[in-house]
A = this chain, B = another copy of it.
Amino acid sequence: MSTFGKIFKVTTYGESHCKSVGCIVDGVPPGLDLTEADIQPQLTRRRPGQSKLSTPRNEADQVIIQSGTEFGKTLGTPIGMIVNNKDQRPHDYTETNKDSDGFPRPSHADYTYLSKYGIKASSGGGRSSARETIGRVAAGAIAEKVLKLKSNVEIVAFVSAVGPVSMNRDPSDPKFIELLNTITRDQVDESGPIRCPDSETAAKMTKLVEEHRDAKDSVGGVVTCVVRNIPVGLGEPVFDKLEASIAHAMLSIPATKGFEIGSGFTGATMSGSKHNDPFYKDPETGKFRTTTNYSGGIQGGITNGENIYFSVAFKPPATISQEQKTANYKGEEGVLAARGRHDPNVVPRAIPIVEAMAALVLADALLIQAARESTFSYIQKSSA
């Protein structure tokens, strides 16, 4: 469905070549300072055409708030937001093959959309296009503002792998843990268009992407994200454990194939005696903390106040310019090659999308837990 969240909810609309894309964000706290200036930066970060590494289509993606604010403050009513599509023509992606429509693009959503709906947008990715994520990023920017005001929550994602070139993200490595403690969005963006904060690895990644671009090929990658300063107690057992909601959010991003939180798949190889996170009391802050953080900030589906960190695997983009042997709908074999230039690698652009989806999950969890905690003052006290 096109709605995400229970209390802080976003509903998105729009596909690659319609009039506009956008969203309605419901459940936004009232009285929040909010203008387009709060939302545009993340939209700009996800925009293609920012470097030679990404697709040269220039999309301005200016968001316009339609409702839910007055004099720069939210009213508590739904925030409608739209971003006009500049390119509203159909048939933009016409393939070289004459009978182009007859060839569903391999590993794209052409065949499954047509099977599911009995009809599909005549060109481009339709609803499976990355343009759909604009509404998410816009909504996420509002969620982030709420989280920031609540407890200075910081959400920072970065590229940790491109193809086989990978940063070390071993949960036992103090350097990795320290990176999670300190990395900022500015650092990520300043690290260059590949958005990997390790400059040596970034250089290798860039080279790899360029090689794939030159080979009319594409390559996958991994985005890692950390959330700091999150309150203790968020996440709803049992089906809406926080990691389950985050996994849902991440796997709803186009082209994702995997998710791991905390120790992740590495944790599956470990022994309990090493993996368990012992508790201690921080003498400075008085906070109850853990000495290690294999849990990734979540235990029993609920935040424990430590950093949440997770990684998301992205497959290589399905649209490549080199020729591919495949079949048309009639089952006739043929050769397909996408016309024009295409992103050889999407992970740098996925950064703000990952951050937005994380923010949406957390803002929703925050409000649901706030409802519960509001009862402590009259229930647990009455009962003490």
Contact = CB atoms under 8 A, between A and B. Distances in A.
Given A2-B239, A269-B220, A313 B115 contact: no
Interface string A249-284: 111101011111111110111111101111111000
B383 A128 contact: no
Most chain B CB neighbours (cut-off 10 Å) among A23, A76, A107, A280: A107
Contacts of A119: 30-31, 73-76, 380
Interface stretch (A37-45, A184-192, A326-334): A326-334
Q: Top 8 closest A-B pairs, CB basis?
A: A109-B300, A281-B331, A218-B272, A258-B260, A370-B374, A13-B80, A248-B248, A112-B302
Most chain B CB neighbours (cut-off 10 Å) among A218, A254, A276, A331: A276
A270 B219 contact: yes
B111 A269 contact: no
A58 interface: no
A36 to B, nearest CB: 11
Contacts of A374: 367, 370-371, 373-374
Contacts of A279: 104, 106, 111, 326-327
9 contacts: A2-B238, A11-B78, A15-B68, A18-B66, A31-B383, A128-B237, A149-B382, A247-B259, A258-B258
B268 A239 contact: no
A322 interface: yes
Most chain B CB neighbours (cut-off 10 Å) among A73, A271, A320: A271
Interface string A51-70: 00000000000001111111
Contacts of A252: 238-241, 244, 301
Interface stretch (A93-101, A175-183, A195-203, A287-295): A287-295
B269 A303 contact: no
A317 interface: yes
Interface string A108-133: 11011101111111100011100010
A78 B294 CA distance: 29
A24 B11 contact: yes
A324 interface: yes
A27 B1 contact: yes
Given A66-B18, A212-B271, A241-B252, A379 B32 contact: yes
A29 interface: yes
A320 B4 CA distance: 38
Contacts of A7: 7, 368, 371
Nearest to A246: B251
A26 B2 contact: yes
A254 to B, nearest CB: 8
Contacts of A331: 280-281, 288
